[in-house]
Structure 1
């Protein structure tokens, strides 16, 4: 990773044309030659960038240009030109004054580890299946069907099958997904009747109304409580 702090301007040409006037900015150059330009303020998104695959040239001017009238123009310390490999797009950054130009070997990154994702919710609910009702038993996680796996298949205290669809944030799309699973599963006389439970950390009002209209129950999952933190906020509707 190369990080440059410099007074710079930039010109992007190709499928679109864009320019950045001279200002103090941060340039981030990754090992794949992709270049991103950041300012002090604003969000995480760069002001401009060139993504890989691309080719980077680091150009140091050898002599000053001459302006009209014979006045010596300011010599840029460096020009960085990045060209896209699969198009004619070019990003050229002119560095007038470089405050810092450092490279770092970050090594191999293990990637982002997310806590509270759907797989974790599924695993905890499978281990604590009686949260859907006393006497419930787990059949299996990722129960296979012809249109994809059901997150959890269980049997309730009455011996009837229950298909459970799990989302972090439950919306209408999740209810529709559960509807398709239950419709298919109920065609199997060995499984029918199959009931549905829509489980999520949050459920939108529209999704709740639709789920109840389809005959499904809604289960609010408190991830911290499921991990063992004492909390009475788990609710079954």
Structure 2
């Protein structure tokens, strides 16, 4: 990553025109080719940027950053205070704060969340393609496979579908129903789950932890 702190003005020419008057700013050039112009405020959002792939042409006092669509970010440098490059290496990606794993623990301790008479058989019930988060029994004694996600999307429904196909081949378990659980479930995932005969359950993480909300509600 290259970091340049400079007094500069910035002009964007593309589907629209935008101009940043002269000021002290941070210019970031990332390894993926993106260029971002930041001020010392405005939170994490850049004032202007060019997404990759793009080409940077540097001339004395001027940078031209052009993308494949011909749009241009022109940075006019009046004074450069710092220009440094840093090798960050491969990034492992964002890891969540353990909410999903903790959510699974809470639900294992509170199987009645899924309905009256539910009981836990096992957490991380292993199948040939991976572990089912929770295997429970309903009040009638039938098995229910439960997949827990922080945010529920189509991939999670597909994952539970594969588990159900395997579990229902086991005569000691079948028939096995499915429940897809998350703090938030996308509409497309709900539609797919309904088509597969999978029930969706939205849970409140804080409420499961015994934390009451401070804000007033109408209902």
- Asked whether the 8 Å contact 2:137–2:144 carries over to 1, the reply is yes
Aligned equivalent of 2:128 = 145
Q: Confirm or deny: 8 A CA contact 1:186 1:194 kept in the other structure.
A: yes
| Mapped partners of 2:32, 2:158: distance in 1 | 43
Give the TM-score normalised by the residue count of structure 2.
0.59
TM-score (structure 1 length as normaliser):
0.56
Tell me the equivalent position of 2:78: 97
| Aligned-partner Cα distance in 1 for 2:36–2:191 | 46
Provide the residue aligned with 1:24 in structure 2.
Answer: 22
Correspondent of 1:47 among 30, 49, 73: 49
Q: Which runs of 5+ in 1 are unaligned?
A: 11-19, 52-57, 62-77, 83-92, 106-110, 232-237
Match of 2:157 in 1: 175
Aligned residue-pair number: 202
The answer on 1:185 being equivalent to 2:167 is yes
Richer in strand (by share): 2
**Looking at CA atoms only, which structure, 1 or 2, has the larger radius of gyration?**
1
User: What is the alpha-carbon distance in structure 2 between the residues aligned to residue 213 and residue 95 of structure 1?
Assistant: 56
Q: Which moved more, 1:207-216 or 1:192-201?
A: 207-216
Q: How far apart are the structure 2 equivalents of 1:191 and 1:170?
A: 25
In the TM superposition, 1:185-204 aligns within 5 A as 185-204=167-186
1:52-91 deviation digits (Å, cap 9, x = unpaired): xxxxxx99x7xxxxxxxxxxxxxxxx67899xxxxxxxxx
Aligned match for 2:96, one of 81, 94, 114: 114
